[in-house]
A and B are shown apart, each in its own frame.
With several copies, the nearest count.
Chain A
Amino acid sequence: MVVFLGCAVCGGVAMGLIKLTAVSFSYIPDKPVISGLDFELCNAERIALSGANGAGKSTILKIMVGLLQPDGGVVEAFGRVRTKERDFYEVRSRAGLLFQDADDQLFSPTVIEDVRFGPLNQGLSQTNADIKAHQALQIVGLSGFEDRVAHKLSGGEKRLVALATVLAMEPEVLLLDEPTAGLDNKTMARLVGILEDLPQAMVIISHDQNFLKKLVTRRVNLVPT
């Protein structure tokens, strides 16, 4: 077991949250999408992850929370090396992943049921999960949407509900995969406002340079293998 010793990038002062060392991954054998990747996210950082299509940006986020198993390398999260599915249960609770397509994230009849799904998985009681859900909806400015049908909301509203489902779990890290794709300017401005006010460290994948400029503290560029 490798003990986590603080962050090299930011000088070891801040606490390291997620660290990938020499990680490689391939969907098809012998066609690696990622190889020998080193990456580190520290406290209070907001990192933009950029690179061409097919460079494996989404793949990296999935590896961080254990939805994909790397072929090689070490994944450390919150001070511990994570290898097995069981190791990642805690990681998924502390690092919230917002998917590209909000439709894929919403599967409940009403908004409130979707938002409290995460807290319930964390073992909270129904009442406490409801409290967390209401708080999360308030953060994204959708109080009053509790009983709406998520499936019938507009694309922008769905994205915000999806963000609320992640925030309700009170994660320490946010992993955002193309959060602005398909959003109009007004909703995008609203999203930037919400994200700016959030204290969490973030890894953001986005093609939108204006959006990134407003948020990120550091950029990591992926070169396709």
Chain B
Amino acid sequence: MKGVDGRVRIIAAVLFAVVTTACSRLDILTAIMFSAVLLAWFARLPVVETIKKLLSMDGFILILIATLPFTTTGTHWFGFSGFTASVEGGQLAMEIFLTANACMLSFLALVAAMPHPAIASGLRGLGCSKNLIQILLLTIRYIETLRLEYQRLRTAMQARGFQPRNNLHTWRSYGYLAGMLIVRSLDRADRVLAAMKCRGFRGSFPTVAEDAKLTKADYVFLWWFFLAVLFVVVWQWG
């Protein structure tokens, strides 16, 4: 899957999400989840890191999943101390759980696993605004630089005895830290613009490397993907 074009992978990720979200049968969703795991395996996602990411997302929907069985009316499933859970609610919770995890896992495998510049050029190939692509590329470039700047400020605070507590001093210090990071990032923006001007930048980025033609591998991947989607569509609605 490494050689598959960025545009193809982004389109595939969107298709995957659309079809998965539209599905409601648990057996089909289970099959989709299984294929997402396959995609992750093809993309060689690191196992532990990926599971951590999935779990942290599951944290976001925990409240939803935990409350749904009790707030949905329907056939009695189980109950305790006055609360009754319905089968329908349980099913809905399971549906959301499977959909969210499958969508995310497929996104990680299809899009996030690509090198970052490839994601950007994929988006450009799909007609994304040129300025937006430049913003994305520059942001990715400077995340690590700014993170190190933040880390140094943070270490210096620690060296002066700063311990985060529940008080105004702590919150004010964090506010200043955030404000200072923004100020320093704006200063850096000025310097980067100056550096661009020094290298002849006059308001437009030189366009290089028109997008490569899709290869046979891309078409093979696309056809397999369409077939799988078609299969799911027929299974659910046929």
Q: Do any CB atoms of chain A lie under 8 A from CB atoms of chain B in the complex?
A: yes
From residue B106, how far is it (CB to closest CB) to chain A in Å?
Answer: 25
Please, which residues of chain A bring their CB within 8 A of the CB of B206?
117, 120-121
Please, which residues of chain B bring their CB within 8 A of the CB of A101?
152, 191
The answer to whether A179 has its CB under 8 Å from any CB of chain B is no
**How many chain A residues have a CB neighbour from B under 8 Å?**
30
A88-96, A137-145, A189-197, A211-219: which one contacts chain B? A88-96
Please, which residues of chain B bring their CB within 8 A of the CB of A107?
138, 141-142, 153, 156-157, 173, 176-177, 180, 192, 195-196
Please, which residues of chain B bring their CB within 8 A of the CB of A77?
none
Q: Is the CB of B199 within 8 A of A65?
A: no
Most buried by A among B140, B159, B169: B159
Q: Is the CB of A89 within 8 A of B176?
A: no
Which residue of chain B has its CB nearest to the CB of A96?
A: B198
Q: Is the CB of B199 within 8 A of A92?
A: yes
Please, which residues of chain B bring their CB within 8 A of the CB of A166?
160, 199
The answer to whether B117 has its CB under 8 Å from any CB of chain A is yes
**Chain B residues close to A by CB (< 8 Å):** 116-117, 120, 137-138, 140-142, 144-145, 149, 152-153, 155-163, 169, 173, 176-177, 179-180, 183, 188, 191-192, 194-202, 206, 208-209
A89: contacting residue among B161, B173, B209, CB under 8 A: B161
- Known contacts A109-B176, A151-B144; A92 and B160 CB within 8 A of each other: yes
B137: contacting residue among A109, A117, A122, A126, CB under 8 A: A109
From residue A221, how far is it (CB to closest CB) to chain B in Å?
Answer: 25
Please, which residues of chain A bring their CB within 8 A of the CB of B199?
92, 117-118, 121, 165-166, 169
The binding surface of chain B is classed by DSSP as helix
B198: contacting residue among A67, A113, A120, A126, CB under 8 A: A67
**In the bound complex, CA of A44 to CA of B188 (Å):** 33
Q: Is the CB of B200 within 8 A of A92?
A: yes
From residue A116, how far is it (CB to closest CB) to chain B in Å?
Answer: 8
Q: Is the CB of B159 within 8 A of A117?
A: no
Most buried by B among A67, A97, A109, A165: A109
Q: Is the CB of A118 within 8 A of B195?
A: no
- Known contacts A104-B152, A107-B180; A121 and B117 CB within 8 A of each other: no
The answer to whether A110 has its CB under 8 Å from any CB of chain B is yes
Q: Is the CB of A67 within 8 A of B158?
A: yes
The answer to whether A25 has its CB under 8 Å from any CB of chain B is no
From residue B131, how far is it (CB to closest CB) to chain A in Å?
Answer: 15
From residue B194, how far is it (CB to closest CB) to chain A in Å?
Answer: 5
**In the bound complex, CA of A92 to CA of B157 (Å):** 10
From residue B167, how far is it (CB to closest CB) to chain A in Å?
Answer: 10
Q: Is the CB of B208 within 8 A of A99?
A: no
